[in-house]
Amino acid sequence: MLQSRFLLRQPLHRCHCLHTLSRRLYPTGVHPHLDPGVVTNEPLGVQSYPGQAPEEKNAAILRTYKPRTPGVRHLKRPINDHLHKGRAYLPLTFARRGQHIGGRNSHTGKITVRHRGAGAKRRIRIVDFQRIEPGKHRVERIEHDPGRSAHLALLSQTVGQTRNFSYIVAPQGMREGEEVESYRKGIPDHLIRELGGTADAGMIAAKTAFRGNCLPLHMIAPGTIVYNVGLKKGKGAQLCRSAGTFATVVSKNDGDPRKALYVNVKLKSGEVRRIHKDCCATIGTASNINFSRRQLGKAGRKRWLGIRPTVRGVAMNASDHPHGGGRGKSKGNVHPVSIWGQLTKSGYKTRTKSKVNKYVVNPRPRSEGKKARAKRKKQS
């Protein structure tokens, strides 16, 4: 016999979840600092803004969320509460339009980069990688850039009655109110007067090697951590622009007259490269160093970034991929190849041995094959 529904009801206890929702809707937990090898600018021993408190060494780096929905259960984000909450400075942006968003080139319209398309609307920020303008620039705010992993700093400079604005890639630890300067056009006269007319390299470095300052490589002391490194004289920065990347000035080759025009710089990959001494570099490490530790949490966030799914070759038809077709999970008894038929397994090398980069002093360490590993063990 069915019982009436009101007889089955139990007295309700007071619920605290609604009180929690009204009080706090954002992250409820953080992860401790797990990587002791994160590079900071502390070895420099200088700060471009003395009133700014240094960052805590054991501060939490990732923000987690209470799993109220499946999409936030595995979501982890770097803690960047200092970022500007409003829109970008519109005069330094333009709309991101064109068929390149879908991975197609501008000539034939064919897909040249796979797994691209759609995504959220963006505006591209015009970033100053040259840093030619001398004088002091004030940091107005630190902003998020959807087109890159590092953060941007909006700089302002007052010239007469006008204020000029520009974007640069912000170093780690930079905050609003700091002042940065560019020395690409040389040492200013007021600094020479402060030094008593001397041109000692150590005294110049002590006055110029502050976080966020842009200098030629010949003015940077060996052992200094830099980012936004140029490759050609007179051009802008091309290396170490991504989040958390940096390079180290190794030596200046002062004793060798043939190599005196170049400075040896060690990149984060371990490669030591010769770069012209007049190329630019910025003191510090590129900001947002915990970007690589983030977790998107769901597939939809990947689509918001404009990244489409990747399909395995064995799941395709024979007309779409060399591994396609057949019954079951069979790739036709062929060696693993790409969609264009290029071998992709066992470290197949595609670079021509005769084209050696003469500017690489020490190449980056690479993985060894079985024969090379056995030969090295036999020699040792």
Task: Quick: pLDDT tens for 311-337.
Answer: 999 999 999 999 998 888 887 788 899
At residue 211, what is the residue type? R
Q: Tell me the two tokens of residue 229.
A: 């490194």
Say yes or no to pLDDT of 60 above 50: yes
Phi, psi of 63 (to 5 degrees): -115, 125
**pLDDT exceeds 80 at position 250:** yes
Of 18 and 196, the structure prediction assigns the larger pLDDT to 196
Cβ neighbours of residue 198 closer than 8 Å, sequence gap 6 or more: none
| pTM for this prediction | 0.77
Mean pLDDT of 343-350: 81
Give the model's confidence band at 47: pLDDT under 50 very low, under 70 low, under 90 confident, else very high: very low
Tokens coding 341: 């038929």
**Does 344 score more than 60 pLDDT?**
yes
Cβ-based neighbour number of residue 120 at 10 Å: 10
pLDDT, tens digit (0-9, with 9 covering 90-100), for 161-213? 899 999 999 999 999 999 999 988 888 888 888 877 777 777 888 888 899 99
d(CA 77, CA 344): 33
pLDDT for 100-133, tens place per residue? 888 888 888 888 899 998 889 999 999 999 999 9
For position 365, what pLDDT does the model report?
A: 84
Say which residue, 83 or 28, is predicted with more confidence.
Answer: 83
pLDDT at 2: 42
Phi, psi dihedrals of residue 190, rounded to the nearest 5°: -65, -30
Bigger pLDDT: 52 vs 134: 134
Burial class (CB in 10 A: 0-12, 13-18, 19+), 373: exposed
Percentages helix, strand, coil for the chain, rounded to the nearest 5? 15, 25, 60
pLDDT category at 74 given cuts 50, 70, 90 is: very high
How much is the pLDDT for 12?
46
Q: Tell me the mean pLDDT in the region 148-158.
A: 94
175 touches 284 (CB < 8 A): no
Given a cut of 90, whether residue 135 has pLDDT beyond it is no
Task: Give me the pLDDT at residue 240, please.
Answer: 94
Distance of alpha carbon 103 from alpha carbon 111, whole angstroms: 5
Starting at the earlier edge strand, list the strands of the sheet with 29-31.
29-31, 62-64, 76-78
Residue 16 binned pLDDT confidence (cut-offs 50, 70, 90) = very low
| pLDDT at residue 50 greater than cutoff 60 | no
